[in-house]
Copies of this chain bind each other. A is one copy, B any other.
Amino acid sequence: MWERSLVLSAPGKVILHGEHAVVHGKVALAVALDLRTFLRLRPCTEGRVCIRLPGVGVVRSWDTSCLQALRRGFAADFDESKSPSVEQLDTLKEFAGIAAGASAPESLATLAFLYMCLAISAKYGDVPSVDILVWSELPTGAGLGSSAAYAVCLAAALLTACGAILCPLKEGESTARWTEEELTLINSWAFQGEQVIHGNPSGVDNAVGTWGGALRYQSGKITPLKRPFEAEEIVAVWALGAAGGLKERGKEMSLVASRVPTLRILLTNTKVPRSTKVLVAGVKEKILKFPAIMNPVLDSIDAISQECQSVLEAMPANPSPEYYPVLEELFDINQHHLNVIGVGHPSLDRLCRVTASHGLHSKLTGAGGGGCGITLLRPDTSPLAVEAAKRDLCACGFECWETNIGAPGVTLHSSSSLSAEVLHALSES
């Protein structure tokens, strides 16, 4: 029986550059977003498993014996290298009373939990008697990797509960991270969870949720950027900074900024709904219609991602303002290109215009056609300017967060390191 309580978190992600172009074989840069999903793992009544997702109104619990029986009924073995089969998922849906074609977040989240719980416990031992509560700062369905952050948290929690990985948090530490080998295992199982939710995910979101920082993605190949994750001590500082940040973000930020290249951003959700599928199809159509006009634009976007990667890798721990004009220029250029390939939207134009009026540079992130935009903040952008921009963005009906990109990946937290808001959210039982 699992006896310890623990809290862990994983970051969301945003695409910094290369959205849509990545579909056509170009480079994309994905970065961890310091809006996080938190998971509280507690012992449960012996012989029960409970999952609580207050954000989507899910509270489900099952007898571990039922889950063990269900697990035995599956023909295929579970393994982190195998994808969930349609039959397995159909069986789980029937078991959990989820309709065959259900695509609501609460159904998919429940299904992913069940699958991961059975699969991980099948490989590493018995179904553990655990009570899991997940709460997120991330909006769902906004292209911010909320499902991957959820899957990463579940993988880390279930692997820990089954004893497949150790709990690295020592007495008196505020945060801790797993070893590289353990992170690789967490990522593999998180990818399975993503497959349950998304069918055919790229694997970028769970990689960002696991390792944090910034990743380069091209044609299925995921490579971490050299900075800020090449040096051990920098990772440690990130973790410390993030943990402190959870408690008192404003105060601890200076510590982080003094040691690693922190990119402060505004993340703005226009709340304009869009279909990624329709947008991707529209880009393809434009390329077929005007190949000689559109293919060079994709090449230019590819070069923007690579230029941005070079700048990020060259940025020292405490970057001087000189690095920012290039990053801003790349934002502006790519935003034009994204409009050219047809994934802009008047709401995003408005977002860019509003932030430009405060001297800030923005681009859409992700699918476009509405959805989210990111605005780069310089280290020396005044709090007054940021507040004014946020106020104007909210006046447009947008939702706006001041946060960081390049955040640490999946992290364990001591209770004392958590902010009051997170503690409150996790205190529901």
Contact = CB atoms under 8 A, between A and B. Distances in A.
Interface of A: 290, 292-294, 296-297, 299-300, 303-304, 306-307, 330, 332-333, 336-337, 339-340
Nearest to A333: B340
A71 B290 CA distance: 56
A330 B294 CA distance: 11
Contacts of A299: 292, 296
Q: How many copies are assembled?
A: 2
Which 4 residue pairs of A and B lie closest in terms of their CB atoms, listed nearest first? A292-B303, A296-B296, A296-B300, A336-B336
19 contacts: A290-B303, A292-B299, A292-B300, A292-B303, A292-B306, A292-B307, A293-B300, A293-B303, A293-B333, A294-B300, A296-B299, A297-B297, A300-B300, A300-B340, A332-B339, A332-B340, A333-B340, A336-B339, A336-B340
Nearest to A336: B336
A290 B307 CA distance: 8
Nearest to A349: B353
A299 B293 CA distance: 8
Nearest to A300: B296
Contacts of A290: 303, 307
Contact of A296 (B297, B306, B307, B332): B297
A292 B300 CA distance: 7
A226 B294 CA distance: 26
A414 to B, nearest CB: 45
A241 to B, nearest CB: 32
Contacts of A339: 332, 336
Contacts of A340: 300, 332-333, 336-337
A343 to B, nearest CB: 12
A29 to B, nearest CB: 14
A337 B290 CA distance: 15
A294 B301 CA distance: 10
A147 to B, nearest CB: 33
A305 to B, nearest CB: 10
> Could you say which of A294, A300, A303, A306 has the most chain B C-beta atoms within 10 Å of its C-beta?
A300
A364 to B, nearest CB: 13
A330 B286 CA distance: 12
Contact of A337 (B304, B306, B307, B336): B336
Contacts of A336: 336-337, 339-340
A350 to B, nearest CB: 10
Contact of A297 (B300, B307, B332): B300
A353 to B, nearest CB: 8
A303 B296 contact: yes
A297 B304 CA distance: 12
Given A290-B303, A293-B304, A297-B300, 12 more contacts: A292-B299, A292-B307, A293-B307, A293-B330, A296-B296, A296-B300, A300-B340, A332-B339, A332-B340, A336-B337, A336-B339, A337-B340
A189 to B, nearest CB: 38
Contacts of A306: 292
A333 to B, nearest CB: 5
Contacts of A297: 296-297, 300
Contacts of A332: 339-340
Nearest to A294: B300
A334 to B, nearest CB: 9
Nearest to A293: B303
Nearest to A330: B293
A307 B340 CA distance: 15
Contacts of A294: 300
A306 B332 CA distance: 26
> Could you say which of A292, A306, A332 has the most chain B C-beta atoms within 10 Å of its C-beta?
A292
A306 B297 CA distance: 16
A301 to B, nearest CB: 9
